[in-house]
Amino acid sequence: MKTKNVIQQWRPGVFGACLGLALLTAASMAWADIVPGEYSASAQGKESPVNVTLSVDKDGKITQLTVDASHETPELGGVAGKEVGQAILEQQSLNVDGMTGATETSNAVKKAAEAALKQSGADPQAYRQGKVKTAGADQTVTTDVVVVGGGASGTAAALAAAEAGAKVLVVEKAPTVGGAGKIASGLFAVGSSLERQKKFTFTADELFHRLVDYNHYLTNGPLTRTVVDKSASTVDWLMKYGVELYLSDQNTQQAHNADPIKWRIYHHYKDSAAAFANMYKHLEEMGGQLMTRTTGKALLKDEKGNVVGLIAEKADGGTLTVHAKAVIVATGGYGANMKMLTSNMLTTNISSLAWANQGEGVKMAWDAGAAKWETQSALLHATKLVGVDPTQATGFNDSLLIRILKTPLLWLDRSGERFVDESLVYDTALWANAAYSVGGNYLIVVDTPTLQAFSKGKLPFEISGAGAPNPVGTGDFVALAEQGVKNGTIYKGATLDELAASSGMQAERLKASVAHYNAAVKAKKDREFGKKPAFLAFGVANGPYYALSSEVVSLSSTGGVRVNERLEATDQNMQAIPGLYVVGNNAGGFFGSPAYPPYQGLALGFAYNSGRIAGEHAAQFIKQP
């Protein structure tokens, strides 16, 4: 079979410079200003500060280097911290390659190492000289099905294709598999064996109609129906491959308590890391192969327009050419590509906690002729405080001020207008959707007595279980707010006029909103948005006044490529592109645009089910004459 030109022009390029140890032993490196010893410095990573401790001798040789990236995502930032630090030590150079998918952590290690070297009196520029390292050897392989991405959707696709007899290769750009599928808590399924054991009576019909109704029938009906119908058997299918799941009797999103289908269908992992280890063990037993640190770059098409392979870049910089009968693109969307995300979501007020997904997959599919679909769609989940340094691998933070974020106080848009019943804070998706409706950023306005009440810890309502983990302990909330004012992350005013001036809100609009809200609190009746009396507990009447800025959080993009119910990529005319399947967060049509439906486990459930469906159909497709 003849192969046409690659859809997208790509060449591996020149890799970063590195310095041999011998260069550092030259006399020119023996700076008189160096003070031998141990030095430490830190730099901001993806989710937390990254700390580097190194030792140098009198000649400027780095004799020891350790990296603490323990608060970065373990599977990416944690690995990158260790590997980049080791490369700096071995090559005696700051010009080492970062790890694909962990750019921010990699750069943080290099910045922190540079700062530590400066403390010793060394000249960091001396560690930037070096020679060009050439790319590794090119490689060509042949397989039946190549899966691009080893997260939940890609893993399910690989298992489904392999169990149907296909020869499968998975290429994953990260050093480990799992992606966001390993960080997620669980997946939805309706009618599973675990639900039957608990005598739940939820049906696929009920969930299907709820999903399409929620998005006003803008979702892909056949796709949604197929995924929902498949979900029950997928639970047993995953458990067969070593994924231990359970149904919890504890619900973190209080808003869902009155509507059990929103949380009772949520199947939790017992151990996500073990789940992926077990799935890949089974894949290997079925003859499947895995190549990590390998990034898909372009698709191959033949003269008939069939997708027949992949061009990828290996860890050593060499080019991998894969000839295949079908390609399944499972690269997780473009949630970490802020340029794409903010452009498609029409706002820059988004805090991304996405996995290292830059949109390579959707771009490859588009270049192969696939139609764009639901690009304005993201997995919006809760909000976070702006300006409070994250200290957990979740990307959220453990400041006590989170309690202000996660309670139904007064929310105003940036002009000073109230926009919603704030008790939506008890629903992860609806809370985020409301924040997105005002551009992704809003202000939580409180007075001093409210902060004092939070300091005492006796609140008339629950702190939301949605979003960031709830912090523990007690503290002086007025002092915390004042520290935020000092740091420039919280706005303050002795009067509402002063608060408007410091925050940028319109003074008259702010004062009117506060007056209306205070009247609602006094009367225990919200005539604007219908907030329940129990949540109308704190007015805004006694200064000084404070405004905390909150920004919507995105865990991923959730669309991009138009697909049919078989997860085949389609063109603008709804015609399938032979040999090309697109799954998981790359695929448009399930979630709707832009609002994420308020049912727990949808994203991971769609990932596993779409991958499984695509793998089954790809295995059938390759058997066609």
pLDDT, tens digit (0-9, with 9 covering 90-100), for 452-495: 999 999 899 999 999 888 888 889 999 999 999 998 999 999 99
Give the side-chain half-sphere CA count within 13 A for 39. 21
Pick from 14, 252, 244, 247: which is nearest to 132 by CA?
14
Of 127, 150, 172, the one marking the end of a domain is 127
Count of structural domains within the chain: 3
Q: Give the span between the Cα atoms of 298 and 312, in whole angstroms.
A: 7
130 — pLDDT class (breaks 50, 70, 90) = low
| Residue 51 sits in the same domain as residue 70 | yes
The domain boundary residue, chosen from 520, 554, 588: 554
Cα of 120 vs its chain's centroid, Å:
38
pLDDT tens digits for range 349-378: 999 887 789 999 999 999 999 999 999 999
pLDDT at 278: 98
Kindly state the average pLDDT of the residues 264-277: 97
Residues 187 and 53 in one domain: no
- pLDDT tens per residue across span 379-406: 999 999 997 643 333 334 458 999 999 9
β-pair type (560-562, 568-570) = unpaired
Which of 93, 127, 161 terminates a domain? The answer is 127
**Is the domain of 549 the same as that of 562?**
no
Q: Judge whether 134 lies within some domain.
A: no
> Are 421 and 312 members of one domain?
no
**3-class state of residue 290 by DSSP:** strand
275 and 405 housed in the same domain: no
| Alpha-carbon Rg for the chain in angstroms | 26
In a domain, 603, yes or no: yes
Cβ count within 10 A of residue 572: 11
532 and 431 both lie in a single domain: yes
Q: What is the mean pLDDT of the chain?
A: 91
For the packed helices 477-487 and 448-456, what is the interaxial angle rounded to 10 degrees?
A: 130
Q: What are phi and psi of 275, to 5 degrees?
A: -60, -45
CATH number, domain containing residue 370: 3.50.50.60
* 496 and 522, same domain (yes or no): yes
165 and 117 in a single domain? The answer is no
pLDDT at 132: 52
Helix (DSSP H) and strand (DSSP E) numbers for the chain: 19, 25
Q: Which domain holds residue 359?
A: 139-326+354-377+558-578+597-621
CATH number at residue 109: 3.90.1010.20
Write out pLDDT tens, residues 226-261: 999 999 999 999 999 999 999 999 999 999 999 999
For the cut 90, the answer to whether the pLDDT of residue 33 exceeds it is: no
Query: Which DSSP category does 421 fall into?
Result: -
3-state secondary structure 352-392: ECCCCCCCHHHHHHHHCCCCEECCCCEEEEEEEECCCCCCC
Q: Is 235 within the bounds of a domain?
A: yes
Instruction: Determine, yes or no, domain membership for 592.
Output: no
